[in-house]
Amino acid sequence: MQKKLNPNAPIGFIDSGVGGLSVVKAALDKLPNEQFIYLGDEARMPYGPRPAQEVIDYTFQMANFLVDIKHIKMLVVACNTATARALPLLQAQLPIPVIGVIEPGVKGALAATHNDQIGVIATQGTVEAGSYQNSLRASREDLSVIAVPTPNFVQMAENGQLSGDDAQREVDATLAALRESGVDTLILGCTHFPFLAPLIQASMGDQVTLVDSGRQAIRQVVAALDELDLWATTPFSHDDDIYYTTDAVERFHDLAKTWLNEDVLDVRLLAIVDEHLEEA
């Protein structure tokens, strides 16, 4: 049941870790006068190998904190694994609009492909859930879709291993089969991967279009704010944004500062207490 929404409430973003910052980064320019609250569940990252029910439970814990305690007006599930496992449940149970990253990524790929051969790289959980494959094939039966789990890219992003010969070699080795496959479009089906985009592009070649599903999702956020008349009426600045992590604040702060190109960010610790999250 949707409640009356307050346009001056923040927009929430959730991810298992720092990957969702790629979605925030895409959103900062497009939504300059909104307040963001980000939550990365670093203590329980990665979500990719976890059983579906565990991902659903953790995702609801994050969503409930943002809805019940921070009173957000909209939730962006800036994590493909959480979107694949929990989006319909979140949309059915939360009293606010919830936007995931998979449908927008599918739309972006359909618009980009010329040879109807699309690759997807994602976590094990996202590939196993089949959301990209099913949704692409439901849109166009004749598409050839190859989905490959690349969980090592999550660790590379979390470790800040984003350039250099060793990193390029690892990306090349991981993408060998996809490079041979003839895809002309590759969906970055994990929000950690846009930080590795230069390495992935160099590996796949310029003839392959990379689709950043998180960036595509922001278009959907803009459309939803328009449609629901939910743009903030008191303009905020992104100095008002808050970043929560369930693990080391300093490490999160260092990565986030570099990736978002900001000097100082308000990063706070959230404690995992029983089955919920609370400010430490």
DSSP state of 69: I
Nearest-approach distance from CB 15 to ligand DGL, in angstroms: 5
Catalytic residue among 24, 45, 79, 156: 79
Q: Could you tell me which stretch among 78-86, 137-145, 247-255, 265-273 binds ligand DGL (CB under 6 A)?
A: 78-86
Q: Please state whether beta strands 276-279 and 267-273 pair in parallel, antiparallel, or not at all (unpaired).
A: antiparallel
Choose between 81 and 113: whose C-beta lies nearer to ligand DGL: 81
| CB 144, CB 116: distance < 8 Å | yes
Is position 192 an interface residue for ligand DGL (rule: CB under 6 A)? yes
Q: Which DSSP state fits 10?
A: P
Q: Which helix (H) or strand (E) holds 220?
A: helix 213-227
CB 188, min distance to ligand DGL, A: 9
Residue with tokens 């999250």: 277
Q: Are 43 and 272 in contact (CB under 8 A)?
A: yes
Residues ≥6 apart with Cβ < 8 Å to 4: none
Applying CB under 6 A, which of residues 75, 86, 190, 265 lies at the interface with ligand DGL? Answer: 190
Q: Does 45 bind ligand DGL (CB under 6 A)?
A: yes
20 vs 214: CA distance, rounded Å: 8
Instruction: Determine the interface stretch with ligand DGL among 140-148, 184-192, 199-207, 231-239 (rule: CB under 6 A).
Output: 184-192
- 19 in contact with ligand DGL (CB under 6 A): yes
Catalytic site residues?
Answer: 79, 190
Sites of contact with ligand DGL (CB under 6 A):
15-17, 19, 45-48, 79-81, 123, 126, 154, 190-192
